[in-house]
Structure 1
Amino acid sequence: MTDSLADPHLRAPGSPTGAGGAPRDIVILGSTGSIGTQAVDVVLKNPDRFRVTALSAAGGRPQLLAEQARRLGVRTVAVSREETVGQLREALRAEYAGDTGGTAGQLPEILAGPDAATELAASPCHTVLNGITGSIGLAPTLAALKAGRTLALANKESLIVGGPLVKAVAEPGQIVPVDSEHSALFQALLGGTRGEVRKLLVTASGGPFRGRSRAELADVTPQDALAHPTWEMGPVITINSATLVNKGLEVIEAHLLYDIPFERIQVVVHPQSAVHSMVEFTDGSTLAQCGPPDMRLPIALGLGWPERVPQAGPVFSWTEAMSWDFYPLDEEAFPSVPLAAHVGSLGGTAPAVFNAANEECVEAFLAGRLPFTGIVDTVAAVVEEHGSPRGTGLTLGDVLDAETWARQRAREMAARSQETAEARA
């Protein structure tokens, strides 16, 4: 066991891929989402390095899942929504019927239900890429770690809500972070020992509302908030980037991954998203990991570690002029980051409450039931009502119970906020 869940000085378990070796077997969870589709692209461009054995998705995009299964030649596909199995089976038959090299007998096995992704996470493979969005990724994360798989972790929520549970089962070198910021820290930390680290500097684009005051955020619409200036992501993550809740979650994740105290983790606004994060060392040196804003780069590193995958993504054109800006975070306009640090320091079930309440508030905002500034205000109110956690032990049941309570309270508070706003109108 290790206090540092993602130690870049430790090689990931298992043999590296590459010249002369067999492709590394990969399971992709959340394959039809933003991370998953880009991971599929990385694999398809590197068939000598990677072979996907199984895919999982929620089930809302059966045609895409079927296409991925056929192109990758997977043995198993899984969907969490059992009612989508019929559509998936039809999509698979149509996809494989159009493949002149395939027959109906080669259709992959279908798993369905809320535990399907967890079952795949423990299946025989080298690396599990957890690209699921939300805390439902916790059970698959634990299953992959317990089964001894290398975990390429893009599902930050599973670590945030179940930090002690993950730390209890993760072996040294078993987790390779896929978030661009944590992949950057992972790489920059190779420049020194943990004892030489003074500060982790997590960069943030600032989202679509960088520079606005809190008062100027009051009338923000969902359409405004979904227009991220740099990254293309799913709606929940995009809204989290607009509120900077996503950056708050990343601060908690950095603390858990690298065992650095919260007071030594700082968020720096960097609109160009070229510097993905930095590490400041005790001698005054600062090492930055840079690259175009393309998630294929950290995904490829997560899948291939300890090797890099050539031509994984685009590179900068150093023959053209460019400039990079850095600004301090406006914590008054975006209080989510200090709130997250407070929640992380509380520990226990507090991070689960923070994350679950936020997911409910984002849904309410997208549905027009909560103003933009009401997202973090409501989350803060739910966290305050939850209070400090009692005791030192944490179980999966504790996390699930805390999430259920937090979701209910967030819905109630959002509804009350809407009623108040309508009454004033």
Structure 2
Amino acid sequence: MSKTITLLGSTGSIGTQSLDVIRAQGYRVHGLAANSRVEMLAQQVQEFQPDWVAVVDEAAADKMESLLAGMPSPPRLLRGPEGLIELARHPVDAVLNAVVGIAGLGATLAAIESHNDVALANKESLVTGGHLVTEAVRRNGVHLLPVDSEHSAIFQCLQDAHSAKTLTKILLTASGGPFFGMKREQLAGKTRADALKHPNWNMGAKITIDSASLMNKGLELIEAVWLFGLPPEKIQIVVQRQSIIHSMVQFSDNSVLAQLGVPDMRIPIQYALTWPERVPGPAPELDFTTLKQLTFDVADEETFRCLAACKKAIAKGGLAPCAANGANEEAVRLFLEDKIGFLDIGRLVEAVVDSESFGGTYTLPDVYECDRMARSFVLAHI
């Protein structure tokens, strides 16, 4: 079945893998959006011939305008954060949001309000504005389809509607990242280069650092609460070092279902775009003749304080997860610039969560103000 897709964040790791799926399925691309990597975006435009492109960074948008001028039938160009949101509003079969960070929240809400189904790789949309997003989905009657490998695995295990009603527990798997098994004293001197050496996945810098700190798993726990309606105490983090079991679900009879596959993001990306159908795609099959072991362990939140901070945040509710996310985004930026140490990330995120109660309802402007406050807190406490 042919579909028309808008892809936000097309030049990142998830974006380029999404284009592999789009290419393999022969889907039409309505729009592509990127922050600043316009040379790569121009190459994507030449191959996929979208009707529209959006570039968030203003200087990069100027450069993109020059690149488009040399093309025979260029797409129309949208600029800035407003351009990203405008593109998300265009009617398509699905908007795949692979933007990194809270910058993706506005586009997620815009897509939903325009009655577009959303394939969501931007977990921060639910972490920072979970109430706003889920209410918008309910109000507009659209589908919110998870792209994260773990949430896709849970979603796939819950396709039997009767079984889904008896869900009692989610087992959210984690690779453990490059620092699994280490204690705080071993982490003190870890550098950007150390943290970027993920054992299983090829991802962008920010999400790779989040994996090393287990912040990514904390954000995924919060996302799972919003997606699947279980309280955080019913979601258990399980370290699965081989990244073959992508997550599991447990039912009232204590039966457990798991989704397995190679560590290739094109599998969950494709399922979000083809759901409820399954079709052949570009990802390789899992070869059980080479699979010698599957191991399980517990996540050490005493050492990896980002995970502990996220659990505190979702327990507090309200804007606490937004504050945790904003603090983490700022702290990771500083770490990647070699301005703080690796352990400072967890210290700062936890300090923000502990600083206020954050409870109660909120609006979209409240989300952005909380994010600003959290970033300011980090800068004041480094």
With the shorter chain as reference, the TM-score category is over 0.9
Name the residue aligned to 1:30. 9
Instruction: Report the residue type matching 1:181 in the other structure.
Output: E
Shift of 1:93: 4.3
2:86 pairs with 1:119: yes
2:302 and 2:308 in contact (8 A); partners too: no
Q: 1 CA distance for matches of 2:255 and 2:236?
A: 16
Query: How many Å apart are 1:107 and its aligned residue?
Result: 0.9
Task: State the shift of 1:393 in Å.
Answer: 2.5
Which one is further off, 187-196 or 310-319? Answer: 187-196
Matches within 5 A, 1:18-417: 23-47=2-26, 50-59=27-36, 61-94=37-70, 96=71, 104=72, 106-171=73-138, 174-191=143-160, 192-385=162-355, 387-390=356-359, 392-414=360-382
**CA contact 2:238–2:297 (8 Å) conserved in 1:** yes
Distance 1:368 1:303 in 2: 38
Separation in structure 2 between the aligned mates of residue 173 and residue 109 of structure 1, nearest angstrom: 27
Q: 1:317 to 1:135 in 2, by over 3 A?
A: same
Deviation at 1:206, TM superposition (A): 0.3
SS of equivalent to 1:170: helix
Report the more deviating stretch, 350-359 or 191-200.
191-200
Instruction: Note the C-alpha offset of 1:357.
Output: 0.4
The secondary structure found in structure 2 opposite 1:332 is coil
Aligned partners of 1:300 and 1:312 also within 8 Å: no
Residue 413 of structure 1: how far off its partner (Å): 0.7
What CA distance in whole angstroms lies between the structure 2 residues aligned with 1:147 and 1:249? 26
User: TM-score scaled to structure 2, two decimals?
Assistant: 0.96
Instruction: Report the Cα offset of residue 173 of structure 1.
Output: 5.6
Give structure 1 stretches of 5+ with no counterpart: 1-16, 18-22, 97-103, 415-425
C-alpha separation in 1, matches of 2:351 and 2:309: 11
Structure 2: gaps spanning 5 or more residues: none
| Inter-partner Cα distance in structure 2 for 1:393 and 1:145 | 20
Do the aligned partners of 1:63 and 1:92 also contact (CA within 8 Å) in 2?
no
Contact 1:67-1:92 at 8 Å conserved across structures: no
* TM-score normalised by length of structure 1: 0.87
CA distance in 2: counterparts of 1:282 and 1:337, whole angstroms? 27
Q: CA RMSD in A?
A: 1.3
The CA distance in 2 between the partners of 1:341 and 1:380, in whole Å, is 10
8 Å contact 2:245–2:258 — kept in the other structure?
yes
Contact 1:25 1:127 in 2 (8 A): yes
| Alpha-carbon separation, structure 2, partners of 1:218 and 1:299 | 36
Is the Cα contact below 8 Å between 1:199 and 1:281 reproduced in 2?
A: yes
TM-superposed CA distance for 1:309, in Å, is 2.8
CA distance in 2, matches of 1:321, 1:350: 41
The one-letter code matched in structure 1 to 2:38 is P
Residues 314, 214 of structure 1: alpha-carbon distance in 2 compared, 3 angstrom cutoff: same
Contact 2:244 2:263 in 1 (8 A): yes
- Which letter does structure 1 place at the counterpart of 2:22? V
Q: Is the 8 A contact 1:27 1:55 kept in 2?
A: yes
- Following the alignment from structure 1 to structure 2, what is the Cα–Cα distance between the partners of residues 65 and 201? 37
Q: CA deviation at 1:68?
A: 0.7
Letter in 2 for 1:189: L
Q: Which amino acid aligns with 2:8?
A: L
In the TM superposition, residue 85 of structure 1 has moved relative to its aligned partner by 2.3
Return the offset for 1:335: 2.6
Q: Quote the Cα distance in structure 1 between the aligned partners of 2:291 and 2:241.
A: 16
Question: Could you tell me which amino acid in structure 2 is paired with residue 220 of structure 1?
Answer: K
Distance 1:270 1:173 in 2: 33
Aligned residues: 379
- The structure having more radius of gyration, on CA atoms, is 1
